[in-house]
Amino acid sequence: MLSDLELQQICRVYKITCPVCLTVADFHRLKRDMARAVKTAGDGYPLTYKWQKPGFDSVDPKQFFMGVCANCGFAGELEDADFRQAGNAPDSYRKDFEEAWLNQFKDAATAGKGAAQSLLKRVADSDELLNAIAQVHLGIISQCSRRRVLPGPIARLYLRISWLFRDRERFYANSDLEEIGSSLKKCRSRWDKELPNHDDYPVRPMVVVDEIEALRMARAFFERNYETLKEAKVEDELRLRYLLAEIGFRLYELSNDATDHKKAASFFSGTMQKCLSIISDKTIVGGMVNRAREMLEIVGERGRELRAMHKERGGSDAEAGDTDTVTDQPATAKKTATPKKQAKSGKGTAKPDGKSPKPEKKPPAKAEAAASTGDTEESAGPERDRMTREIVVLTQEVGTLTERVVELEADNKKWRQLIGRDALTGLPNRISLFRIHLPKVIREFASAGPFSCIAIGLDQLIKVNQDFGWPIGDKMLQASARGLRKFVQDGDDLYRLDGANFVIAGPMDQNVARQRATEMRRALGGSSVRVDDTAMPLASSLGVVSVEQTSGRGSDAESANAIYTALLQALYQAKRKGGNTVETHNITRF
């Protein structure tokens, strides 16, 4: 257990309000790049970490992954900015969840029993490994409380659990896996009884008690994620295929189960075929082709390792060969048996040119060996033909799938346009700004220059809702959206962030953004909109975040999330000062 001083060295502290029971608690999240995985296994498992601070090599960074409410057990990932900020607008956050299932968390907290409470007891256990595994299970049951279950997040959580089991010797030497498994099994009955029902589970989520169970659950949900892949980008599909292949490899390594071997071999073969299709596709150029070549080499080697392991364990040569069909699959035992029989009858000793060999005065054993060699060469021709036919068929299938991907991308573009609009005001919404527009701005920052976001929070909307009701409040939001358009200049866009909050985003540095925000505050403070013959004041709090430099360390999406977090901090700091004021965030490098 780390001391408070040690935690201060490596962590940032977040005060997070549980969106379910509104309990406030502090959570420790590792500072950016504090522990970086410098070498990983094929399934993403970190083999080695590099810490910025010395003396933490024996600490598992995965301990700082989840945020769990100690009262009701609701959990989320600390990397998720939406979860960290959920307490600022709990109603907005809860919209994606089924209210009845969230109420189970509160009811169980009141009664002191239930699946979440049972896992919370494990979170409080002195065994750090059991503690971490129980936290991730709470994250899974929280994900299952959503109205629409997304297989990707659940798959990643189960994969994290498998990594925790794998790390027992490295980080948790005092933990007893049998005792941990026994303790977790006791949670299963309540879990099965209380787990929310969804028709689109690939398998019903369960409390896993060892690495094999965790990997199988991860594979099942990643397979469903692969089937329902909407963002069907070639590189994303390739990475997911390879991940499934490596999960299968690890499972077969642990279980020696024929099904695990078959699935791993299938995904290795499919990944190799996909790499070949990318390399041969003249419409794909640049880095993607080079990455496909690199992956082809890696996957080919891993496929041969899988085949060797399978043969060592008594698997047939035919089964083992499936993982290497693209490169050097040997002739199967079944096909080489016939030429041997012909050799014995004297019919299978023809040379490759078709001429009969002259009799040689050799010992019988040597003559039989020479005949066998000729037969092997003769059987290689049909085998090559079979492999060629398979490649042609697979290439045709790849072409069909490519056409389907194009259709899916067109459909996905339409859906993005739909989900990127706020239904009430018709303005672009938070997803449009922080998931689509801002990542693009960050990518083009070097040529485009500084960019700022000005958040505008209507101070009086809550009072209007209380005094006049939600319908009048909605009309005020619609009127306010129309009124705010007068502040939009060339190059700017107006977005509805959430609730009573709007954002004007456009190309400007911090000085310009601060001056414009001050002018807006002054103008809004003396303005109002009329709703049903009633004047509604537009006095607002404003938060300003400017991007004048990019760090280049994280992804574009991570930078956009950091800007979103900073913008909320500035806006709510302005509100805490009493409203009708402007707060500018001091960080300009993201």
The H helix count followed by the E strand count for the chain is 24, 13
Whether 197 and 99 map to the same domain: the answer is: yes
Whether 285 and 412 map to the same domain: the answer is: no
Q: Is 418 helix (H, G, I), strand (E, B) or coil?
A: helix
CB 555 within 8 A of CB 563: no
Whether 522 and 562 map to the same domain: the answer is: yes
pLDDT for the residue 348? 39
Whether 205 and 235 map to the same domain: the answer is: no
Residue 585 has pLDDT above 50, yes or no: yes
Q: Of 400, 419, 438, which one is at a domain's C-terminal end?
A: 419
User: Is the overall model pTM greater than 0.85, yes or no?
Assistant: no
- Count Cα atoms within 13 angstroms, Cβ side, for 370: 16
CB 171 within 8 A of CB 60: yes
Is 337 part of any domain?
no
Q: Which domain holds residue 122?
A: 4-228
The torsion angles phi and psi of 67, rounded to 5 degrees, stand at -115, 115
Total Cβ atoms within 10 A of residue 353: 5
* DSSP β-ladder status, 540-547 and 582-584: parallel
pLDDT for the residue 366? 42
CB 343 within 8 A of CB 375: yes
* DSSP β-ladder status, 35-40 and 46-51: antiparallel
Return d(Cα 203, Cα 161) in angstroms, integer.
17
CB 77 within 8 A of CB 64: no
Give CA separation, 437 vs 314, 368, 571, in Å.
55, 73, 20
Is 397 part of any domain?
yes
Return d(Cα 497, Cα 478) in angstroms, integer.
13
Phi-psi region of 215 (alpha: psi -120 to 50; beta: other; left: phi over 0): alpha
Is 452 part of any domain?
yes
Q: How big is the CA angle at 349 (ends 346 and 351), to the nearest 5 degrees?
A: 155
When pLDDT is averaged across residues 158-173 and rounded to a whole number, the result is: 94
Residue 282 has pLDDT above 90, yes or no: no
Give CA separation, 462 vs 8, 465, 480, in Å.
37, 5, 14
Q: Is 19 helix (H, G, I), strand (E, B) or coil?
A: coil
Paired strand residues for 451: 547
Whether 317 and 445 map to the same domain: the answer is: no
CB 49 within 8 A of CB 99: no
| Greater model confidence, 571 or 394 | 571
Least confident stretch, 144-148, 332-336, 392-396, 579-583: 332-336
Q: Of 264, 296, 323, which one is at a domain's C-terminal end?
A: 323
**Burial tier of 146 (Cβ tally within 10 Å: 0-12, 13-18, 19+):** middle
Return d(Cα 157, Cα 136) in angstroms, integer.
6
Nearest to 82 by CA among 453, 568, 425: 568
List CB contacts of 319: < 8 A, sequence separation 6 or more: 261, 262, 265, 310
CB 27 within 8 A of CB 16: yes
Length of the chain: 590
pLDDT for the residue 368? 47
Q: Give the pair of three-digit tokens for residue 79.
A: 């990397």
Is 333 part of any domain?
no
Is 15 part of any domain?
yes
DSSP code at position 437: I
Whose tokens are 């992954």? That residue is 65
Confidence of residue 396 (pLDDT cuts 50, 70, 90): low
Calculate the average pLDDT of the chain: 84
Return d(Cα 335, Cα 411) in angstroms, integer.
47
Whose tokens are 């965790």? That residue is 214
Residue 21 has pLDDT above 70, yes or no: yes
445-471 confidence digits (pLDDT tens):
888 889 999 999 999 999 999 988 999
Whether 65 and 207 map to the same domain: the answer is: yes
pLDDT for the residue 519? 95
Return d(Cα 274, Cα 147) in angstroms, integer.
34
Whether 57 and 204 map to the same domain: the answer is: yes
Q: Of 419, 454, 480, which one is at a domain's C-terminal end?
A: 419
Question: Where is 104: in which H helix or E strand?
Answer: helix 99-111
Return d(Cα 230, Cα 148) in angstroms, integer.
15
| Greater model confidence, 444 or 554 | 444
Residue 347 has pLDDT above 50, yes or no: no
* CATH code of 455's domain: 3.30.70.270
pLDDT for the residue 144? 94
491-518 confidence digits (pLDDT tens):
999 999 989 999 999 999 999 999 999 9
In DSSP notation, 388-415 reads HHHHHHHHHHHHHHHHHHHHHHHHHHHH
Paired strand residues for 506: 452
Is 540 part of any domain?
yes
Q: Give the pair of three-digit tokens for residue 328.
A: 């050097």
Whether 86 and 185 map to the same domain: the answer is: yes
Whether 35 and 177 map to the same domain: the answer is: yes
When pLDDT is averaged across residues 552-576 and rounded to a whole number, the result is: 91
Q: Give the pair of three-digit tokens for residue 517.
A: 């925000």
Return d(Cα 143, Cα 97) in angstroms, integer.
9
Report the interhelical angle of 128-143 vs 151-166 (nearest 10°).
170
Domain count, the chain: 4
pLDDT for the residue 4? 85
Whether 159 and 43 map to the same domain: the answer is: yes
191-230 confidence digits (pLDDT tens):
999 999 998 899 999 999 999 999 999 999 999 888 876 4
Is 355 part of any domain?
no
CB 240 within 8 A of CB 258: no
Return d(Cα 371, Cα 432) in angstroms, integer.
71
Whether 17 and 149 map to the same domain: the answer is: yes
Nearest to 222 by CA among 274, 287, 267, 284: 267
pLDDT for the residue 401? 83
Q: Fill in the amino acid letter for 458.
A: L
Is 363 part of any domain?
no
**Burial tier of 179 (Cβ tally within 10 Å: 0-12, 13-18, 19+):** exposed
Whether 295 and 387 map to the same domain: the answer is: no
